[in-house]
Amino acid sequence: MSLITLLFMGCNLGPGTDGGSDTGDTTGPNGGPSIADIQDGTIADGETATLSGVLVTSSATLEDDGFFIQSPGGGEWSGLFVYMQSGVPFLEPGDEITITGAVTEFYDWTEFSVSDDSAIEVTGSGTLTIDAVDPSAVTDWEPWESGLIATGAATATSGINSYGEIELDNGLKVDNLLYDFEGEAGATWTNVIGPLAYNYSEWKLAPRDAADMEGYTEGSGGGEVVTIAQIQDGTVAIGTTITVENAYATSSTYSYEDEVKGFWIADAAGAWNGVYVYEPGFADEVAVGDTIASIDATVDEYYDLTELKNVSVEWGGDSVAAEAEVLTEAPADWEAYEGVLINISSLEVTAEAEYGEFETAWEGLNLDDLFYDVTPEVGTTYDATGIVNYSYGAWKLCPRTEADLVAP
């Protein structure tokens, strides 16, 4: 494997932290254990160790709660994330340190939890190794966890999402754990460098500064302009970066466990003309009828529900009336109405079901409490309006407010 070496001299960061309980001590003479001993499980979760002669590979995270280290020479199993809850002391990439902490598995990311500044001693400086890794040749990223790597040329296949992440065509994401980078769909880099982080079950590069994103060329910010019908009828392939223009919101945002998950949009009335926008933590206030000048996104299929993700929204124009498509009988296939705002003037509720749902006389279509606690009376017929959603292998009508479910 080719190696790129860089020499960094001295540095620093901010005050100490709260580490975690010590349940054992694997400290050995002359520096004793290595980072590899932690990463391969020789030093178990919860045990305490002292690492000597390791090198700092990054400055503090933007949250000031950690930094990365490596064993001299780099290679597989050589990187580790140091977690410091209350702040990071003054350190620089290239600093050689002795550090004592507790091994912690945090949602499958191995961390070294350090109590405070007194657990870190700067003993010199050294040469950092950046390992050149070809993502197409990697079948398991685990050996490179928290390692400082260079992944070569890459193209952004999405814009920056609400978590500060951007997807690359090499299968990795770039994350703003250490640095708020620039990028948009279609942007290219000749090389992307950074420690390899792991969170939310995904591998993500964490560039440390602009120099870690070499040869940046600005992208268009979006893909081909398409209609929502082209997305829903399969004309646009899954994974494609697209732009939808002149759309409007057919729902407000909905939340699960107090976190915003997404909302629905349309660009015309009728079949095939609605789609779900999945954007966890979406900060904008969304109201029905809000107009969208353009939305850049990646088309995805999540358990057979078509959705847009990694979105960048440009709102614009006056609000419009979001008209529901009126159905007088159940369609032969609900697929054409996935994500569409519909109205059924006479929908009888026939039974209470599980998970806040109610069965209806339109076989295969339940009323669902996605937006609010739906409490219709069994045996009553309603003028029902809502979004057609697909989840857990079933079609569901989701009224947005109580005004969407009216008894004649």
Q: pLDDT band at 31, cuts 50/70/90? A: low
**Same CATH topology for 3-130 and 224-315?**
yes
Q: pLDDT band at 136, cuts 50/70/90? A: very high
pLDDT tens for 169-179 read 999 999 999 99
Pick the more confident residue, 260 or 220. Answer: 260
pLDDT tens for 59-101 read 999 999 999 999 999 999 999 999 999 899 999 999 999 999 9
Mean pLDDT across the stretch 134-161? 93
pLDDT tens for 195-228 read 999 998 999 999 999 999 999 998 876 778 999 9
Residue whose structure tokens are 């400055």: 59
Among 33-42, 50-59, 238-247, the minimum mean pLDDT is found in 238-247
User: Cα 363 to the chain's mean position, in Å?
Assistant: 36
Let me know how long the chain is. 408
pLDDT at position 408 is 78
* Helical residues (DSSP H) of 214-330, grouped into ranges: 228-232
Pick the more confident residue, 82 or 238. Answer: 82
Q: pLDDT band at 152, cuts 50/70/90? A: very high
- In terms of Cβ atoms closer than 10 Å to its own Cβ (0-12, 13-18, 19+), residue 374 is buried
CA geometry: angle 219, 223, 229, nearest 5 deg:
165
Whether residue 92 contacts residue 7, with contact meaning beta carbons closer than 8 Å, is answered with no
Say if strands 173-175 and 202-205 run parallel, antiparallel, or are unpaired: parallel
Domain ranges of the chain: 3-130, 151-214, 224-315, 325-406
pTM: 0.62
pLDDT at position 160 is 82
CATH class of residue range 224-315: mainly beta
CB atoms near residue 404 (< 10 Å): 21
Q: In 114-258, where do the E strands start and end?
A: 120-125, 127-132, 148-150, 154-155, 165-167, 173-175, 188-189, 191-199, 202-205, 213-214, 224-225, 241-249, 254-256
| Cα–Cα distance list, 19 to 86, 101, 123, 197, 216 (Å) | 9, 7, 22, 20, 38
Whether residue 376 contacts residue 367, with contact meaning beta carbons closer than 8 Å, is answered with yes
pLDDT tens for 262-309 read 999 999 999 999 999 998 888 889 999 999 999 988 899 999 999 999
pLDDT tens for 365-404 read 999 999 999 999 999 999 999 999 999 999 999 999 999 9
CA distance linking residue 236 with residue 229, whole number of Å: 9
Q: Please name every residue paired with 106 in a beta bridge, in sequence order, or none if there are none.
A: 109
Q: Using DSSP, state whether 149 is helix, strand or coil.
A: strand
pLDDT at position 268 is 94
Superfamily name with CATH number, domain 3-130: Bacterial OB-fold (2.40.50.200)
CATH class of residue range 325-406: mainly beta
Q: Please name every residue paired with 351 in a beta bridge, in sequence order, or none if there are none.
A: 359
